[in-house]
Amino acid sequence: MNIYADLFLTFAKIGVCTFGGGYAMLPILQREVVEKKGWATEEELTDYFAVGQCTPGIIAVNTATFIGYKHKGVPGGILTTLGVVFPSLVIITAIAAFLSNFAGIPLVQHALAGINAAVVALIASSVLKLAKSNLKDAVSGGIFLAGLALALLLKLSPVILIVCAGVIGWVVYGLIQKGGEGK
Amino acid sequence: MTLLLLFLEFAKVGLFAVGGGLATIPFLQDMGTRTGWFTNADLTTMIAVSESTPGPMGVNMATYVGFETAGLPGAVLATLGLITPSIAVIIVIAGFLEKFRQSKTVDSVFRGLRPASTALIAAAGLSVALSVFVAAGGAETHAFTLRWPVVILSAVIFLCTQQKKLKKLHPVAFIAIAAVAGAVFQF
């Protein structure tokens, strides 16, 4: 298949499979982009989420643009982003036009409760995978635990957390360990 | 004229909302009040529909507001407005990262970012879990009850994703099975 068509269609598929916010997209991204297509590694995906969370725009769109750009430059970035929003355009337009009471239908509510149970399980499984590739030493483990506590208990802004973690990474891995290796 | 305004209004949302789809809600409330395109009650319906249909929630909401305001062309332009700033900003950042990929400094910064990014994803997962697992009791009791069927289904699916053979199943297969289970057992 033409690579541009592949980028668009893969991200349209990811859009269809996402229920909820950008985080719900992660399990699908890991399967389609990391495992099936090899367009990014687990580490790169984590990087895109890190940047996507503290730059303008919603995470799902930012991550799609990132992967497309990395793979096929500006046209790639545009195509993956159009791909990820395409299903929303079709589905939401159909629902808004014909089924304005959609969210109130009992069957929909029951099915959605089930879907949410699956989304929670899938995010948990994704986090385990990310933890395996990203938490490799005491420092990264510490950043993870501190970040989790600050995000949950203090509701600290992701932007502040990401910036602080970047500074810690720069100091620990860039300055201290580099100095240590030199001796 | 409405179409151009829709594009510009959503480009503003795309430029200033940072984070997940929920981050767009305050901007949409403000947009509704200023333009009169939709009321807060309309917005509540749109949020409910956006959460329960496929597609990232923030994108769904842009499409919905656009459609309600100006039909299909409105839906297209609102969605394009939302994504345009992202495309521009991310392409600049991705280009910058590509250029400095060999840099030791950038590499060490990202080694610090990754555990924090993982933590933020875990925190988001936990808050979704909380909202899905716990049902508020009656208004006068302030009691909270655990929605056991949802908790159990979630636990079973999680165990399946850790199991050697079943973890090869596509995530959407688990979502489909869970939707059917929810509908059949009336979660």
CA distance B8 to chain A (A): 14
B76-127: pLDDT as tens digits: 999 999 999 999 999 999 998 888 878 888 889 999 999 999 998 899 889 8
Contact A165, A171 (CB under 8 A): no
* Residues in chain B within 8 Å Cβ distance of A143: 112, 115-116, 119
User: In tens digits, what is the pLDDT along chain A, a chain of 183 residues?
Assistant: 899 999 999 999 999 999 887 888 999 999 999 999 999 999 999 999 888 888 888 889 999 999 999 999 999 999 999 999 999 999 999 998 888 788 888 998 899 889 999 999 999 999 998 899 899 899 999 999 999 999 999 888 888 898 999 999 999 998 887 654 433
Rounded distance between C-alpha atoms, residue B183 and residue A109, angstroms: 8
Please tell me the distance from the alpha carbon of residue A61 to that of residue A75, in angstroms, as a whole number: 15
Structure tokens that stand for A120 in this block: 């929670």
In this structure, the answer to whether residues B109 and B95 fall within a common structural domain is no
Amino acid B20 reads G
Domain match, B85 and B110 both = no
pLDDT of residue A181: 47
Contacts of B86 in chain A (CB under 8 A): 55-58, 61-62, 65, 81
pLDDT exceeds 70 at position B166: yes
Last residue of a domain, one of B31, B64, B99: B99
Whether B40 and B112 share a structural domain: no
Which of B99, B120, B151 is the last residue before a domain boundary?
A: B99
Q: Over the range A142-180, which residues count as b (16 or more CB within 10 Å of their CB) and which as e?
A: ebbebbbebbbeeebebeebbebbbebbbebbbeeeeee
- How far is residue A53's CA from residue A59's CA, in Å, rounded to a whole number? 6
Instruction: Determine the residue of chain B that is closest to A153 in CA distance.
Output: B123
Cα B114 to Cα A1, A16, B94, distances in angstroms: 33, 27, 16
Q: Do residue B68 and residue B28 come from a single domain? A: yes
Domain ranges for chain A, please list them: 3-134, 136-183
Domain limit, last residue, from B53, B74, B99: B99
Residue B128 structural domain: 104-184
CA distance A23 to A89: 20
Residue B111 shares a structural domain with residue B174: yes
- What are the beta bridge partners of residue B146? B134
Nearest CA in chain B to A176: B108
Q: Which residues are CB-contacts of B171 (< 8 A; sequence separation ≥ 6)? A: A17, A27, A28, A31, A122
Q: What is the pLDDT of residue A97?
A: 87
- Give yes or no: residues B86 and B112 share one domain: no
User: Does residue B162 carry a pLDDT above 80?
Assistant: yes
Q: Does B124 touch chain A (CB under 8 A)?
A: yes
Q: Give the closest of B91, B116, B185 to A162, CB-based.
A: B116
B116 and B160 fall within a common domain: yes
**pLDDT at position B138, please?**
58
Closest listed residue to residue B55, CA positions, set A91, A145, A162, A134:
A91
ipTM of model: 0.87
Rounded CA separation A155/B134 (Å): 20
Yes or no, beta carbons of B58 and A53 under 8 Å apart: no
Helices A3-17 and A59-98 pack at an angle, to 10 degrees, of 70
Q: What pLDDT score does A12 carry? A: 96
Chain B residue numbers with beta carbons less than 8 Å from the beta carbon of A178 are: 104, 108
- A89, A91, A177, best to mutate vs chain B, most B CBs in 10 Å: A89
Regarding whether B91 and B138 lie in a shared domain, the answer is no
> CB–CB of B113 and A50 under 8 A?
yes
Instruction: Report the domain count for chain B.
Output: 2
Same domain, B31 and B86: yes
Give the closest-approach CA distance of B22 to chain A in angstroms.
8
**pLDDT at position B61:** 92
In the prediction, which pLDDT does B99 show? 87
Residues 139-178 of A with CB under 8 A from B: 139-141, 143-148, 151-152, 158-159, 161-162, 164-170, 172-174, 178
B93 and B34: one domain? yes
**C-alpha closest to that of A91 among B74, B115, B50, B116:** B50
Q: Is the pLDDT of residue B47 over 90?
A: no
Asked if A118 and B48 come within 8 Å (Cβ–Cβ), the reply is no
Q: Which pLDDT score is estimated for B102?
A: 85
Q: What are the pLDDT digits (tens) for B124-157?
A: 889 889 888 988 665 566 677 888 999 999 999 9
| More confident site: B12 or A103 | B12
B17 and B90 both lie in a single domain: yes
> In chain A, positions 71-100, which contact chain B (CB-CB < 8 Å)?
74, 77-78, 81-82, 84-85, 87-89, 91-93, 95-97, 100
SS (H, E, C) B25-41: HHHHHHHHHHHCCCCHH
Token output for B99? 């250029």
Q: DSSP labels for B102-146?
A: T-HHHHHHHHHHHHHHHHHHHHHHHHHHHHHHEEE--TTT--EEE
